[in-house]
Structures are given as C-alpha cells and as structure tokens.
Amino acid sequence: MIQNKILIVEPDPTNASVVTKLLEINDISTFIVASGYRAFSELMEKPYDLVLCEFDLPDMQGIDLLKKVRASEKAFAISFVFFSELPDEEKIRAAMIQGADDFLSKPFSVANLINTIKARLKFGEMRMAYNTQELNNKWLSIISVNFDHEFLTPLYGILSAINLLENYPDQNLNIPECKELLHAILESGSRMVRNTRNLIMFSIISKHDNDLISNTVIEQFTIEEFMEAILKNVNNHAGLRDAQMEVLKPQGLTINVPGICLKIILEELIDNAIKYNNKELGEPKCAISQKNKSLKVVISNKLSDCDKFTLDDVKPFKKFHQDLSLNGFGLGLFITKEIAHTFGFSLKLIRDNSTLNVLLEVPNVIEK
C-alpha cells in the first residue's frame, strides 16, 4: 500500500513534531519545513498529496504560499489545509477564495485532525484524477491535431526520397541530387526524433520522475565539440539547413555537464532563436562565456510578430508564434524550463523592444 505524503509547514518545532507523530501513527508519511519559500521549493521538487500549513510563517503569510502553489504548474491541484490558533475570519475567508480546502483551529482533537486530513486526501485524489484526465484529453487532442504535420509529413518525405533512390537507374539521378534526397531523409528523421523525444520528456516530467532526469550521466566535452554537435542537430531540423547563427565562444574550454539534458536545452533554445528570428531585423546570436566555474550562455534573436511572454507563461502545449506551423507541439520551452529547474540552472527571458535575450547559467561545470 502506498502511503500518502503530507508537507507540514510549521515554524514551531514542538507543534510540528506532535502533528507528525499523530499522522504517522495513522500511516501517513510527513515532511516538515519551517518557512514558505522552503515549502514551495519542496513542492516543486517532490510530489506531495497535501499541505498542512500555519497561517503565520517567518518569511511570508501562509496565504501567499497558497497563491504561489495554485499558480504553479506542478502543484496547483494539491490539497491545502490551514491550521492556526485564534483564527481571523477574514483571513480564513480570503484563504478559501484563493483555493484553500479546509481549516483546523488549534488546539484540535486527534479525531478532528485525522478525519479532516483523510477527507481532504480523498477529495484530492478525486481532483487529481480529474485533472490528469483533463491533461490526457488535451494531450490526445493536440497530438491528433498536429499528428499529420509533425509525424506524417516527415514520414511521407522519407518514403518519397527512398522511393526515388530505389528507382535510381530509372531517374538518372546525379550525385548532388542523391545528396539532396539523403539530406531530406535526414531532416525528416531528425524532426520525428525531436518530436518523439519531447513527448517522452513531457511524460517523464508529468509523472514527476525527476530522478530519470537528474541521474543523467555527467560527461566531459570541449566547448567547441559540444556546440558543434548541437548546431549540427539544429541544422538537421526541417527548414533550418541554411540558417545562420553567430556563435561566440571561448577557446579550449572544457566542461563537465549532464550531456544529453544540456544538449536538449541548448538545441531547443537555439532552434527557437533561429526559427522565430526576423531576418530583416538581424541575425540570431549565441554568446558563451565563463564566470568562475559557471558556464554562461546568452541567445538573442529578433522578433516582430511573437507575443510578449515570460517564463511563467510557458506551459505544456502552449504556443506563442502567430504562424502555427512553426510551433510544433508547444513542448520545447516547457521541457527546457523543467530540466533547467531540476539541475539548478538559472534560466531567464528578457525582452528588449524587438530583441529577445535568453540567459542560461550552468553552475559548477568548469574545472579550474
């Protein structure tokens, strides 16, 4: 039997210890934190079934933590119960408006605590099942709408090119024409691989299987070979073969990084920078530098018809470009954001008039 897990947010260690013992006697696992920021960080990193939170925290009000949780992508559906002494009715009403599920007044009886928690856990399971079904329905709907463009179109391209090559003697193809057909196969295959990879990564992230990401093997590369492999993959994506990007990078720099995950991040960011760039306003750029043991990457491109957005706006299947044919499934930026968070990378988007700057800082990857 899988135990339910509760996050207790209580600055008083004595109260927290008493509540923990009462819950664990009833086969409910707990974890204690004393502040709102620590609680939010914990919820972003690990799955919990319920939050039991004191109203007054040392770094923020409990209702502010509730707002952050309800606005988050990962924990918005979690059950949230407040507990406090001498409750303020206005405070309770405000918490309920923001999405609190229940309130316990201290001191409370053991029966009241257990019954409230079990009832909210049951309700939370029902809500989570509903939200999961809603997300699955959305996923299936978006995949079905985009399937022809993202999978069948490149697959037909591969089959057509192979058919021409197979009938080579009858087509009198020369070497440049053969190379063109082979490159078309490579482009289409790369596009399908990228789409499949993003769907798999989204599935891992949705199930909170972050260990599968964080346990990525650390590999050593020179910055030259690392960026060469990334740019080669990006150029293999359909429609980007002749795209140009100025890359400024230090020479002879060796990095130790979670290879596949950092490659996914940079491929997605560079791909978007090239694909959405307005050539009339300038070429996209990628500037790589060293700051102590950290690797800093700034990717810039010119935008004219893309709505303004922030990282908080980045969600699964959300598309930002007005030309829907360029958007794919709308997963690349979301996956990038989640991988960066898992590894503790700093990721920022800064819009300056028509220029979008993406700032990525990867700490402790450079040996001195």
Mean per-residue pLDDT for 161-188? 76
Long-range contacts from 90-93, C-beta under 8 angstroms, 24+ separation: 91/55, 91/63
Mean per-residue pLDDT for 37-48? 88
pLDDT digits (tens, 9 = 90+) for 145-162: 677 667 777 887 888 888
Please provide residue 264's backbone torsions phi and psi, each rounded to the nearest 5 degrees: -60, -45
Mean per-residue pLDDT for 306-311? 66
- Alpha carbons 180 and 213: distance in angstroms, whole number: 36
pLDDT value of residue 219 = 85
Q: What is the pTM of this model?
A: 0.64
Q: Is the predicted pLDDT of residue 252 greater than 70, yes or no?
A: yes
Listing DSSP states for 179-214 in one string gives: HHHHHHHHHHHHHHHHHHHHHHHHHHHHTT-HHHHH
- Alpha carbons 31 and 326: distance in angstroms, whole number: 44
Listing DSSP states for 89-145 in one string gives: HHHHHHHHHTT--EEEEES--HHHHHHHHHHHHHHHHHHHHHHHHHHHHHHHHHHHH
Least confident of 197-206, 242-251, 268-277: 242-251
Please provide residue 309's backbone torsions phi and psi, each rounded to the nearest 5 degrees: -150, 160
Q: Where in the chain is CATH 3.40.50.2300?
A: 4-108
Q: Where in the chain is CATH 3.30.565.10?
A: 212-362
Q: Please state which architecture CATH assigns to domain 4-108.
A: 3-Layer(aba) Sandwich (3.40)
Q: Which CATH number fits domain 134-206: 2.40.128, 1.10.10, 1.10.287, 1.10.3470?
A: 1.10.287
pLDDT value of residue 8 = 94
Q: Is the predicted pLDDT of residue 87 greater than 70, yes or no?
A: no
Q: Is the predicted pLDDT of residue 26 greater than 50, yes or no?
A: yes
pLDDT value of residue 6 = 92
pLDDT digits (tens, 9 = 90+) for 325-348: 556 677 888 889 888 888 889 998
Q: In the structure, what pLDDT confidence band is assigned to residue 9 with cuts at 50, 70 and 90?
A: very high
Residue 169, SS3 per DSSP: helix
pLDDT value of residue 1 = 46
Q: Please state which architecture CATH assigns to domain 212-362.
A: 2-Layer Sandwich (3.30)
Q: How many CA atoms lie within 13 A of 163 on its CB side?
A: 6
Q: In the structure, what pLDDT confidence band is assigned to residue 276 with cuts at 50, 70 and 90?
A: confident
**Minimal CA–CA distance to 272: which of 196, 184, 344, 198?**
198
